[in-house]
Amino acid sequence: MIFLKNIKKPKYVFASILLVCFFLTQPVVAQEISWFSNMPPAGEKKIVTNGMHRLSSIKGKRGQSSIIQWLRKGTNPEEAAYVQISDPKTYEFLLFSPSKKQIEGKLITKGGKSFFTYASKEEGYYNAYLIQKEVLGDTLNVTVSKSELLNHSCRNGHKLIRGIVGPHLYPEIIPAEIKREREFTEDLHYFATSSDNVEYQFLVNGKPVEGANLTLVTQKNWNKTLKTNKEGKSTFQFIQDYFSSWQELNNREIYYYLLYGEVTLPEQGNYNGLPYSYIHYTTSLSDGYRPAKTMYMSMFWAFAVFILAVLITVAGIFMYRLKRQKIYKEIKLDETSIINFDTRRND
């Protein structure tokens, strides 16, 4: 180490050695975040056949359709790159139905992009996982890209909602994941909106992890990072990071977000013949949210106030004119009584 020769004082030499040793003993972790996206790449048209969350799909025969989700890397939902997986030995793809049965899904690579697709018939949330593992230095990097996909059609009814709203976990198979806590009154029409407080939990092998970093990134690249508490939970409030004129406001417009979590834990082991002393878990979850109800309800209330003001004005004008109107009254005089009255006065 050449730079140590130029340091004269022993205490600086000792401090430099400690600093170098500190960096050498830190776990080497991967920096790229991989996740599943509902936003199609440029040149691809988003085909939506049904479903509350307007999931991208591929039309099939006789009205059948298959859901499609793209694999991306990066932390900016609008600019993250669409990537491909070339070596099937480097990943494991798992897909579970709302009834917690493992079903068949296809992970396809085409045109330099990887995506998975599956046919959805069962009502409820489907869970898809892409698990990747790699040893870098003395650290095993475990990356889990998770997607929760809601399939629901109102024509199928709303029976047994609590059983299919979830969430469903698979700790015996999935090494790490982010779980969105459900609302008590949540149904198959649930959709997060701006200003909502949504709670998420970071899990490793099904157990909550304290001190993990959870980062929320909205479609407009607003981001916030929080530490998980003792229960492995953090609560994020979705902000309004988009503004539209009233005539352009669409309360059913969907804005997407990315949530990812990271934590490094000490654990010794061996993966594919390579030893490691740490495991760095990275997991992601992407979904959508809609404009706050107050944004489009304000238009309703403005219209209601306008109509009320018009009615009050019209009623006021009508009452004013009614009071000023002279009502015709017919008066009949008895001429005999008048003559008798005049006669008595003359007498």
DSSP string, 138-151: TEEEEEEEEEEEEE
CA atoms of 288 and 112, how far apart (whole Å): 25
Extract the tokens encoding 85: 């997986």
Is 257 within 8 Å of 280 (Cβ atoms)? no
Extract the tokens encoding 83: 């990537």
**Strand, helix or coil at 87?**
coil
**Nearest in space to 145 (alpha carbons), one of 181, 108, 79, 95:** 95
CA atoms of 102 and 218, how far apart (whole Å): 31
Sketch the domain layout of the chain as residue ranges.
28-295, 297-346
Say which residue the tokens 């404009």 belong to.
291
Say which residue the tokens 């130029």 belong to.
6
**Nearest in space to 190 (alpha carbons), one of 345, 343, 53, 47:** 53
Put residue 251 in one of left, alpha, beta given phi > 0 → left and psi -120 to 50 → alpha. Answer: alpha
Query: Exposed e or buried b for every residue in 106-131, given b needs 16+ CB within 10 A?
Result: ebeeeeebbbbbbebeebbbbbbbbb
Q: pTM of the full predicted structure?
A: 0.76
List of long-range contacts for 220-229, beta carbons under 8 Å, 24+ apart: 220/78, 220/255, 221/76, 221/77, 221/78, 221/79, 223/75, 228/201, 228/202, 228/261
Rg (C-alpha) for the chain, rounded Å, is 34
| pLDDT for the residue 52 | 62
Sequence-distant (6+) residues with CB within 8 A of 312 are none
| pLDDT for the residue 324 | 73
Please state whether the peptide bond connecting residue 167 to the residue before it is cis, i.e. omega within 30 degrees of 0.
yes
CA atoms of 182 and 219, how far apart (whole Å): 22
What are the pLDDT tens digits along the chain (347 aa)?
A: 334 444 445 555 444 444 444 434 455 555 579 999 988 888 777 776 556 677 887 766 655 668 889 999 999 998 999 998 877 778 899 999 988 999 988 888 888 899 998 887 888 889 999 999 999 999 999 999 999 988 877 766 666 666 678 789 999 999 999 999 998 888 888 888 888 899 999 999 999 999 999 999 998 889 999 999 999 999 999 887 766 665 556 667 788 999 999 999 999 999 999 999 999 999 999 998 888 766 655 566 666 787 888 888 888 888 877 777 766 667 666 666 656 655 655 55
Distance of CA 26 to the CA centre of its chain: 34
The count of other CB atoms within 10 Å of the CB of residue 190 is 15
| pLDDT for the residue 191 | 83
| pLDDT for the residue 301 | 64
**H/E element, 284:** strand 274-290
